[in-house]
Amino acid sequence: MNYLHSAMLELGMTPKLSGRNLTAMLDGGEGPLLLLNSHTDTVPVGQGWTRDPLAANIEDGKIYGRGSNDAKGCLVAMILGAKRAFATNAPKGKVLLAASCEEEVLGLGLEVLLPTLPRPDAAVVGEPTGLKAAVAQKGLLLLEIINMGRSAHAAHGGGINAVESAARDVLALSKLIIPGAHTALGATSLHVTQISGGDRHNVIPDRCKLVVDIRTVPSVSPEEIIALVKNTVEGEVMIRSNRLGSVETDISHPIVKAALAANPAGRAYGSPTLSDWVFLKGIPTVKAGPGDSKRSHTPDEYLEVAELEAGVDFYEKLIRAYFAKASL
Ligand SMILES: [Zn+2]
């Protein structure tokens, strides 16, 4: 964060630190406010690296390191792209750069930063999308299903086995089809991802818990899904998390047009993965940046230097196109 702070100072920006989030306003006078956001945190280094994960060494045109692809490349490209856009023929309006922490582990980043900022007219979230514009993003609904039984000695039998009723719930959920597919995002997905029940071999278990990971789309409400699940299972359905909703932006909005103009080879698409966009509800947003999402969170994560340079061009063009369209 200190490194980024001094780099922004060197670029002639006036960065402001609040908590572990860094912002800088580029001011071209009266006009709309465009937020450019990306995150500085990464997932842990993990196993399997054949290169130094913290050195950012360049080898065969690739920058290797944890976070090179997700999402420090996007952040650097945003900063340099914005710098270029304001260096000559500055757009009429303001760009707010926000480097936020804790996207990967939610709780301290953009969610707490946003209420302290002026409300943006549009936003770009920098994530590795190969410079394609994500115009919709799936949300996350986490449910727990608690099956209760009655314990008994396994040798005597009797009791009510909570693991067995949970097993019936798992099978029933695997067959559940949630209607209402979204044009860009497809269908809601639902998977039982954790199960825990019983604590010794000789006791009929009286409790079993399932965790259900549901990736939602804007065309089906979480309430509809919860009602469907309740009708499908024997256990009690509890909501663990329903705060990360799905989001989408009208493709006729200037921010979408600007992102498509900045990369004519790209196309608008729906993204299955979460990002800080979930906190920008009601603000027209696209998610776009250099790199490939499939390289994120892997050993030997890298970003090509050429991708980074294309990213700088992309954000500069996007900024110019947005302010040209927004002021029409
Ligand atoms: Zn990311």
List, for residues 31-66, the tens digit of each pLDDT value: 999 999 999 988 889 999 999 999 999 999 999 999
User: Peptide bond before 259: cis, by omega within 30 degrees of 0?
Assistant: no
With a cut of 90, say whether residue 101 has pLDDT above it: no
User: What's the angle, vertex CA 144, arms to CA 139 and CA 149, rounded to 5?
Assistant: 165
What mean pLDDT do residues 228-243 have?
97
Separation of CA 274 and ligand 1 centre (Å): 8
Q: What's the pLDDT at 137?
A: 97
Percent of the chain whose pLDDT exceeds 90? 90
Separation of CA 41 and ligand 1 centre (Å): 8
In this predicted model, what pLDDT tens digit does every residue of 105-128 receive, in sequence order?
656 678 889 999 999 999 999 999
Confidence category of residue 328, pLDDT binned at 50, 70, 90: low
CA distance linking residue 69 with residue 66, whole number of Å: 8
Separation of CA 151 and ligand 1 centre (Å): 45
What mean pLDDT do residues 304-319 have?
98
DSSP annotation of 68: I
Amino acid at site 171: L
Separation of CA 157 and ligand 1 centre (Å): 51
With a cut of 90, say whether residue 326 has pLDDT above it: no
> Got the DSSP string for 216-242?
E-TTS-HHHHHHHHHHH-SSEEEEEEE
Separation of CA 296 and ligand 1 centre (Å): 8
What mean pLDDT do residues 56-81 have?
96
In this predicted model, what pLDDT tens digit does every residue of 156-176 receive, in sequence order?
989 999 999 999 999 999 999
Separation of CA 52 and ligand 1 centre (Å): 20
Separation of CA 154 and ligand 1 centre (Å): 48
Separation of CA 70 and ligand 1 centre (Å): 5
Q: What's the pLDDT at 288?
A: 98
Contact 113, 100 (CB under 8 A): yes
Separation of CA 230 and ligand 1 centre (Å): 33
In this predicted model, what pLDDT tens digit does every residue of 238-251 receive, in sequence order?
999 999 999 999 99
Confidence category of residue 104, pLDDT binned at 50, 70, 90: low
What mean pLDDT do residues 14-21 have?
90
Separation of CA 317 and ligand 1 centre (Å): 22
With a cut of 80, say whether residue 30 has pLDDT above it: yes
With a cut of 90, say whether residue 7 has pLDDT above it: yes
Q: What's the pLDDT at 107?
A: 60
Separation of CA 192 and ligand 1 centre (Å): 24
Separation of CA 81 and ligand 1 centre (Å): 19
